[in-house]
C-alpha cells in the first residue's frame, strides 16, 4: 500500500483533484481508498458531502478522520492520524489518497495551489512529492496543472513505493499470482520490439503485455482509422490518435507493471537498428512485402544472433490447418505463407489475431528457452 496526502488551502481544489484521480487510477486496475482529514469533526449525511463525491467517483472505501474518532462505513474510536487510519483500514489497497494530513510527519504529500487561494508552498521539502498548481511555481518537484489528472495518475502509479513490478501491492500480488515463477522471471527481464502497430502488431502487443513482458518497444507512424477497428486493438474514441499512443494507453490498462516505449516514426533501413537496439527479439508486423524484406535484412545484418519473427499469409478466414511456423536460422515465419491480402481477400480479425498470437507465443517460447539454456562448460572453452 502507498499512501500520499493531497494538501492545500481551503478552496485550492483538493477535493476536485482527488475525485478526478479516482477513476483514472481505477482504470489502471488499482484498488483505491480515500481518507479525509476532518480537523473540526465531520457530518456523515448528505450527497453534497465530499465522502459521497468520492464514493460516487468509484472509491472502494472512504474514511473520515476526525479528532478522536474515524468513520469507515461505521464509526469507531481510534488514532486520528490519517496515515495510521490508512494502514489500519486500507492495508490491502494499492493506493490511499488522503485529503489533508498536513501535520502528519513523514507522510509524503502533494500540495495543491490555486492562484488567489494559496500563499505559496508550505510543505517541508522532505515531505513534498509533487505540486499541483494553476499558475507557475518554482518547487524543484514534479509540477502538474489541476487538469492533468491522467498525467498525475500515471505519475502516482510509478511513484517510488507503489508497485511498479512484482511489488508488494495487493493488486500486483493478484495480477501475478497464477504465473509460473520461472517463466515470469524470464519474461519480466526481457525486451521485445514490435515493428508496426496494425492488426498484427497491436494484437501481438496485447498478448505480450498480458504475458508480462517487462518492456515493449513499438514503432509505427500511422493513426487509428475507423476501418482499423474491425481487426486492430483500438477503440472508437481513439480514432484519429497516433497508433503508438493509443496502443500504449491500451496496454497500460492491460498491464500497468510493464513498460511500453513508443516511436511515432516510419521504420526504415537507417533507423530500425537504433529503435530496436535493446530488443531481445523483434516482431515484424508490416503490411507490405518490401517493408518486411527491408526489416529482415536490417535486423539480421546488425543483430544476426537475435531472432526476428515475421508473418506471411494471414488473409481471409478459415484454413486453420494451413497456418504453421517455419524457421530459417534466426528468422521465424508464422502464417500460411501463401495468401495475400487484397480487395477480394481482406484481412479479418480471427485469422489476424491467430497469427499475431502465434508470433507472441513464439516470443514467449524463445525467451523462456533462452533463460533455461545451460551455460557452456568452461572446460570446453579452454584451448
Domain boundaries, the chain: 2-171, 179-371
Rank 81-95, 152-166, 362-376 by mean pLDDT and report only the highest.
362-376
pLDDT for 111 equals 94
Per-residue pLDDT band at 46 (split at 50, 70, 90): low
Q: How many whole angstroms separate alpha carbon 274 and alpha carbon 276?
A: 6
Report pLDDT digits (tens) over 293-320.
999 999 999 999 999 999 999 999 999 9
C-alpha cell at 115: 492562484
Architecture of the domain spanning 2-171:
3-Layer(aba) Sandwich (3.40)
pLDDT for 72 equals 63
Residue 92 has pLDDT above 70, yes or no: no
Buried b (16+ CB within 10 A) or exposed e, 4-40: bbbbbbeebbbbebbbbbbebbbebbbbbbbbbbbee
Average pLDDT over every residue of 130-147 = 92
CATH 3.30.360.10 fits 179-371, yes or no: no
Contact partners, residue 37, CB within 8 Å, separation at least 6: 65, 82, 98, 99, 100, 101, 104
What percentage of the chain exceeds 70 in pLDDT? 83
Strands (E), the chain: 2-8, 32-37, 61-66, 69-71, 75-76, 95-99, 109-113, 128-133, 143-144, 191-195, 215-219, 259-263, 281-284, 308-311, 324-328, 331-335
C-alpha cell at 320: 486453420
Minimum mean pLDDT range among 29-43, 148-162, 174-188: 29-43
Residue 74 has pLDDT above 50, yes or no: no
- Chain CA centroid to CA 160, Å: 16
pLDDT for 80 equals 59
C-alpha cell at 276: 530496436
pLDDT for 192 equals 96
Residue 79 has pLDDT above 80, yes or no: no
C-alpha cell at 73: 462505513
Per-residue pLDDT band at 168 (split at 50, 70, 90): very low
Q: How many whole angstroms separate alpha carbon 107 and alpha carbon 82?
A: 9
Per-residue pLDDT band at 52 (split at 50, 70, 90): low
pLDDT for 259 equals 84
- Chain CA centroid to CA 335, Å: 30
Q: How many whole angstroms separate alpha carbon 102 and alpha carbon 6?
A: 8
Rank 14-23, 45-54, 327-336, 374-383 by mean pLDDT and report only the highest.
327-336
Amino acid at each position: 500500500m502507498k499512501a500520499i496526502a493531497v494538501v492545500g488551502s481551503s478552496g485550492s481544489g483538493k477535493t476536485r483533484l482527488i475525485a478526478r484521480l479516482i477513476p483514472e487510477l481505477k482504470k489502471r486496475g488499482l484498488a483505491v481508498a480515500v481518507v479525509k482529514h476532518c480537523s473540526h469533526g465531520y457530518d456523515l449525511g448528505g450527497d453534497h458531502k465530499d465522502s459521497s463525491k468520492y464514493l460516487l467517483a468509484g472509491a472502494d472505501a472512504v474514511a473520515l478522520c476526525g479528532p478522536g474518532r474515524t468513520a469507515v462505513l461505521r464509526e469507531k474510536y481510534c488514532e486520528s492520524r490519517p496515515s495510521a487510519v490508512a494502514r489500519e483500514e486500507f492495508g490491502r489497497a494499492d493506493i490511499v489518497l488522503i485529503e489533508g494530513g498536513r501535520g502528519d510527519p513523514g507522510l509524503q504529500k502533494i500540495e495543491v495551489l490555486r492562484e488567489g487561494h494559496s500563499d505559496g508552498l508550505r510543505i517541508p521539502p522532505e515531505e513534498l512529492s509533487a505540486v499541483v498548481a494553476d499558475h507557475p511555481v518554482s518547487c524543484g518537484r514534479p509540477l502538474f496543472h489541476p487538469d492533468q489528472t491522467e498525467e498525475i495518475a500515471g505519475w502516482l502509479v510509478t511513484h517510488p513505493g507503489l508497485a511498479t513490478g512484482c511489488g508488494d501491492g495487493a493488486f500486483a500480488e493478484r495480477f501475478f499470482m497464477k504465473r509460473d515463477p520461472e517463466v515470469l522471471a524470464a519474461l519480466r527481464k526481457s525486451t521485445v520490439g514490435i515493428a508496426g502497430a496494425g492488426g498484427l502488431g497491436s494484437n501481438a502487443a496485447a498478448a505480450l503485455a498480458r504475458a508480462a513482458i517487462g518492456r515493449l518497444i513499438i514503432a509505427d507512424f500511422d493513426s487509428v482509422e475507423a476501418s482499423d477497428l474491425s481487426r486492430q486493438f483500438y477503440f472508437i474514441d481513439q480514432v484519429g490518435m497516433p497508433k503508438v499512443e493509443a496502443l500504449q494507453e491500451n496496454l497500460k490498462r492491460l498491464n500497468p507493471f510493464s513498460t511500453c516505449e513508443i516511436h511515432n516514426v516510419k521504420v526504415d533501413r537507417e533507423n530500425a537498428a537504433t529503435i530496436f537496439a535493446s530488443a531481445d527479439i523483434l516482431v515484424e508486423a508490416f503490411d507490405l512485402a518490401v517493408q518486411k524484406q527491408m526489416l529482415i535484412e536490417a535486423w539480421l545484418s546488425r543483430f544476426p544472433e537475435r531472432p526476428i519473427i515475421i508473418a506471411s499469409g494471414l488473409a481471409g478466414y478459415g484454413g486453420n490447418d494451413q497456418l504453421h511456423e517455419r524457421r530459417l536460422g534466426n528468422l521465424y515465419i508464422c502464417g500460411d505463407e501463401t495468401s495475400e491480402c487484397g480487395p477480394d481477400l481482406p484481412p479479418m480479425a480471427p485469422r489476424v489475431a491467430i497469427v499475431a498470437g502465434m508470433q507472441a507465443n513464439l516470443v514467449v517460447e524463445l525467451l523462456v528457452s533462452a533463460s533455461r539454456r545451460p551455460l557452456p562448460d568452461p572446460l570446453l572453452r579452454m584451448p
